[in-house]
Structure 1
């Protein structure tokens, strides 16, 4: 090799190239670590109706590691998505020392249990229910039933609309029996879905009987039980009665 000029020249070229690459790498590392590239700014874009931007900056920035070049964007995305109300986040670098994050909020449809909300997509999320501006329906059901309850809520809206009221609460019991409370105050027991048509048919039974029920008992109906095969049971405020306490004493 030492007598081969061509091999010597090739080896020298390789050594020179390696040294140059090492020098460029060291220079790049030195430059990347300069204070000018330390993360100082976070731009927040997208849905922020329920999101406090200063709080996001204060809470998330402290969890980020690295600078403009070295920060892990996927880890930053996960950090943003752990914030209340945030459904999805995307993060990109902004030269020379910033990040831009685009946020998508959950769109709340109703409350779920005591401390959660359910979105229009049937996704559960945790947020302060007091931050909701409008009255929204109440939902509850077994674990994993969120999408089913949301779908049935929309069905009940359509099926029970002729009654002149909308569902304000939809509950699915542990035995998968349905109960609906309307804005009129009427509570409806629909029972379990035996077939794909069970709830639709029972709702239609109430709708068809409603004019006759109102004529007979008035419009202050409190409860309707539709779990019967071919009928229904009604309880109205006018059916209530109280016993005279003095009469009760006289019978003792």
Structure 2
């Protein structure tokens, strides 16, 4: 009976109160998180302040022959006034990449106040068409203003054939080098026929098929061609399967034309 009374007495006892620290712990966590978020927001706003973190210098690197570094500096200045942390690196890169003479560009921030721009300029190896150029990879680019670069060969062809024409030019130039002849003009026309002009003024018609084999035939026949006529060789037609048609300009006609 006594044991039963003890059990009932225990049941009537109130549960123990939890300490104050138990209730303060989540409040403390909420306060810490809130203050951290507010502090982070204030810090971000401070970092966006261009007066607190100004860009002091824009450094342009690269071997520039056709791009003006001062012009680029003026172009980039408005884009760097937002401050060091707010500079849109991707936007600057895309804006510069759109310029015709820029082949590749990289932009990065350098702590604490420098924006570094590295530019690889286009290298024209041949002229393409009326106003454009090709770089060593056969990629076309066209400056906004007409640019005259002395000594560049002239190439032309249908859209999309830039790399093929440039490759053909390189192979022909290598084949003709032993004769000390250079290709100064190479055209692939709409019918896919090849037309060549050499540095001595001689023109070659190669037709549509096997242009390199026909150039090789010209090289073999070149000594005989030069020895057979009595004037300057004007053109060579190599479209025949078993022969070569040669046109000379007579000495009399040449003298008359030059006075």
TM-score, normalization: structure 2?
A: 0.82
Matched position secondary structure for 1:160: helix
Deviations 1:183-207 (A, max 9, x none): 01011111113xxxx1221111111
Q: CA deviation at 1:122?
A: 0.6
C-alpha spacing 1:144/1:27, structure 2 compared with 1 (3 Å): same
Q: Which has the larger radius of gyration?
A: 2
Which of 203, 223, 228 aligns to 1:216? It is 228
Q: C-alpha root-mean-square deviation of aligned residues, in Å?
A: 2.5
C-alpha spacing 1:19/1:218, structure 2 compared with 1 (3 Å): farther
Matched position secondary structure for 1:37: coil
Q: Which residue of 1 aligns with 2:5?
A: none
Deviations 1:1-33 (A, max 9, x none): x96853541342133222223123213312431
Q: Does 1:114 align with 2:130?
A: yes
Which of 48, 59, 66 aligns to 1:50? It is 66
In 2: Cα distance, 1:149 partner to 1:181 partner: 14
In 1: Cα distance, 2:220 partner to 2:190 partner: 29
Q: CA deviation at 1:138?
A: 0.5
In 2: Cα distance, 1:82 partner to 1:211 partner: 50
**Runs of 5+ consecutive residues of structure 1 not aligned to the other structure:** 243-252
In 2: Cα distance, 1:220 partner to 1:92 partner: 60
Aligned positions, number:
236
Deviations 1:71-112 (A, max 9, x none): 221111111112231100000113333311001011111111
- The 5-angstrom pairing of residues 61-210 of structure 1 reads 61-63=77-79, 66-127=82-143, 128-130=145-147, 132=149, 134-193=150-209, 198-210=210-222
Q: Which residue of 1 aligns with 2:248?
A: 236
Deviations 1:109-130 (A, max 9, x none): 1111111111111111122553
In 1: Cα distance, 2:219 partner to 2:231 partner: 13
Q: CA deviation at 1:241?
A: 6.6
TM-score, normalization: structure 1?
A: 0.84
Matched position secondary structure for 2:184: strand
> Is the 1:111–1:117 contact (alpha carbons within 8 Å) kept by the matching residues of 2?
yes
In 2: Cα distance, 1:122 partner to 1:39 partner: 38
C-alpha spacing 1:218/1:148, structure 2 compared with 1 (3 Å): farther
Q: CA deviation at 1:63?
A: 4.8
